[in-house]
Amino acid sequence: MTDSSAARAPKEEEARPERPEMPSKKFIHNFRLAAKIGQPLFYVVLAAVLIWKLVPRLSSGQFQDSFLFWYESLQQTTYHLSGPLLVALAAILLLGLWRRSHNARDVPVYLVDFRVYRPPDALRVNKMQCRDGANSCGKFNEESLAFQQRIAERSGLGERTYLPRGLHQYPFDINMTSAREEAEMVMFNCVGNLLEHQGLKPRDIDILIVNCSLFNPTPSLSAMIINHFKMRSDIVSYNLSGMGCSAGLIAISLARELLQVYPNKNAIVVSTENITQNWYFGNERSMLIPNVLFRMGGAAILLSNKPAVRNVAKYELQHVIRVHMGADDKAYRCVFQRPDDDGNIGVELNKDLFKVASKAVTRNMTRMGPMVLPWSEMLFVALNLLAAKVFRMRVKPYVPDFKKAFDHFCLHAGGRAVIEGLGKQLGLPDEKTEASFQTLKWYGNTSSSTVWYSLAYIESVQTVKEGEHVWQVAFGSGFKCNSAVWKAIRDIDSCHQAWEHRVGENAPKV
């Protein structure tokens, strides 16, 4: 710690409000043990009594009033159970639920601000330039060129996306030096703009997390940022690699865990992907799709747990849900980096991808639902499951209306089919998927940073009101589906530089 930071420490300590006295470790241990035992015991006792009363009814063939009888049985069970036992079990259940929700929100984590990278106009490409570049490199046969052209027409990408400098030269300049140049352009710009706008010095950052799936030089990308901005030697830094397009929300989850351990800290998360050295020059169709979809981009996000930050922050983090399906072989291999028969390395997107993605997001929503959905939606879900699983009725699975829980949706802009499929699965109208489609159109698939381009679009074009909730959903290799929920703690109508062309010349620039 430097002299200046040491001098500030007493002031921060004096300004910090007194924390209430915490319960003893023994009390907490006993409380957790009681809750752990009591919750399942409550459900077991209640279920046993209901089954004891319900089975004879079903065995007699009287199915028509099963739901009504179940409801009456629940009332009778509640009445006939021993009063003290029921009260005790219910109290343990409620205390356990309170403990879970209380622990998750012990230390509020605030999103102070974020920046997404807008490359210079010199790096802009349209579809014709991409086609000419693919033709000139001499690596693709006629069938592969035609396939890439068809995918480009249906991809949802517009005529103004960006590729790194090495892919603008003919022949392509693909080497470690040009890859580092791309990484530096994206990361230094995002982090520098973020620090400048917030009036922070690099030494004010306590935690740094960088995620980039395919480019991992030595020293690491996080070390590259620390060296460039001359950050403190005691900074807590992490570099996440190989985790795909959902790694940005994994990095947010890691930052939250760290901020709940280290008090009074600032954290920066940098999410990006590197295109330069990861262009595929073979002719396998499943490995050509990333060439069409992926573009350069990145985002830097400032998080903090400082109480005073709440007055200037944009959002408070509510939930992060992570689903990993890597135990299933099909899910594990549906996005897979490998060499083709000629030794050209690329990322394969196989035919199981959409089926696996649908299953992954369903599991994510199933876990998210009880945390965010209103009771009316939860009741419909429960009745649907009861009809299908218990009474073996042929009913369609009930899809909860997540529009009742979230006001804004940032869907991973992995491609047109990804956004359309997820929007259909969630039953979202066009205005709820607009941010993701616009991200895909203007910036392409920027991997883990797409959800931040979408949020920047929402803030710039649609605006966010105090109390509204934002849901970010991203997919990644492994296979993973991760999501985050943010609650706006003030009105937000700022215009990000990346979207000023959609707002107009008179919009406030930030």
pLDDT at 474: 95
| Residue 318 tokens, joined | 């509510």
Model pTM? 0.79
The answer to whether the CB of 367 falls within 8 A of the CB of 481 is: no
CB atoms within 10 A of CB 66: 17
**110-316 against 320-503: fold identical:** yes
Question: Given this structure, which CATH class describes domain 320-503?
Answer: alpha beta
Of the candidates 189, 334, 364, 408, the residue annotated as catalytic is: 408
Of the candidates 274, 278, 445, 482, the residue annotated as catalytic is: 445
pLDDT at 489: 96
Euclidean distance between CA atoms 452 and 411, whole angstroms: 10
Of the candidates 283, 305, 334, 412, the residue annotated as catalytic is: 412
Of the candidates 130, 212, 245, 495, the residue annotated as catalytic is: 245
The answer to whether the CB of 296 falls within 8 A of the CB of 215 is: no
| Residue 505 tokens, joined | 């010349």
Q: Where does 110-316 sit in CATH, by number? A: 3.40.47.10
Identity of residue 299: A
Indicate if 408 belongs to the active site: yes
Residues of the chain with pLDDT under 50: 1-29, 31, 33, 35-37, 63-64, 74, 78-82, 102, 104, 505-510
Of the candidates 137, 168, 228, 324, the residue annotated as catalytic is: 324
The answer to whether the CB of 325 falls within 8 A of the CB of 182 is: no
Euclidean distance between CA atoms 7 and 313, whole angstroms: 25
CB atoms within 10 A of CB 108: 18
Nearest Cα neighbor of 486 from 458, 462, 460, 444 is 458
Indicate if 137 belongs to the active site: no
Indicate if 412 belongs to the active site: yes
Indicate if 102 belongs to the active site: no
The answer to whether the CB of 208 falls within 8 A of the CB of 267 is: yes
pLDDT at 425: 87
| Residue 102 tokens, joined | 């209380």
Per domain, the residue ranges of the chain are 25-104, 110-316, 320-503
Helices 353-372 and 375-385: angle between axes, nearest 10 degrees: 120
